[in-house]
Chains A and B, each alone.
Chain A
């Protein structure tokens, strides 16, 4: 069974930093692109960032480019996102999501989702 477990969320002040982690199991982690998708309170879904299976290719939404850095450690089956210069509008539940395709940068079909971790940016 695919499991994606996010951690690292919490309350942070505007301009602050936070690092989220996603621990994966139940599939060959090193074969799949993995992504972050977020959902602001009471709002819809927004793509944030993704990384290819070998970590060589990364994608960022314009709203986070230059502030967020995605990375992965295939030896630990773990995905990360370093979030800097956080803004009020970054407040959301952040979901770790497994890409359907088992190679390369994926196809951006989000087959499996973690339960999410809440990031609150507030003074």
Chain B
């Protein structure tokens, strides 16, 4: 399954609502995760099963699914949210990642 992530980058301001989308190349269930990666750091898991928040992740992050489209939404962007975000499907082997979305100021 290929995951096509868009946009590849976006510019936003503190307080903005940000939406990132991944489209799967075939129909699938909700076995999708979202990760956040800051420069020179390891990725951090944010959301799994398309919409379940990892422990400790702020509630301004949310995930949703509609058909083959999976969305990560950040309401009220905070300074610490500027990072690159990746989606990943784990429904079929091999697990595959989207190309990433860089959220910039």
Contacts and interface: CB of A to CB of B under 8 A. Distances in A.
Interface in B22-64: 31, 33, 35, 41-45, 48, 54
Q: How large is the interface on B (under 10, 10 to 19, 20 to 34, 35 or more residues)?
A: 20 to 34
Identify whether the interface residues of B are mostly helix, strand, loop, or mixed: loop
Contacts of A14: none
A113 B97 CA distance: 15
A116 B93 contact: no
A108 B93 contact: yes
A17 B28 CA distance: 38
Contact of A95 (B42, B88, B93, B97): B42
Interface residues of A, number: 18
Given A45-B88, A100-B48, A109-B48, A61 B42 contact: no
A74 B98 CA distance: 32
B94 A47 contact: yes
Nearest to B48: A109
Given A110-B33, A110-B88, A116-B42, A46 B97 contact: yes
Nearest to A61: B94
Contacts of B94: 47, 59, 61
Given A45-B97, A61-B94, 14 more contacts: A44-B97, A44-B98, A45-B35, A45-B88, A47-B97, A95-B42, A108-B90, A109-B88, A110-B35, A111-B48, A113-B43, A114-B42, A115-B41, A116-B42
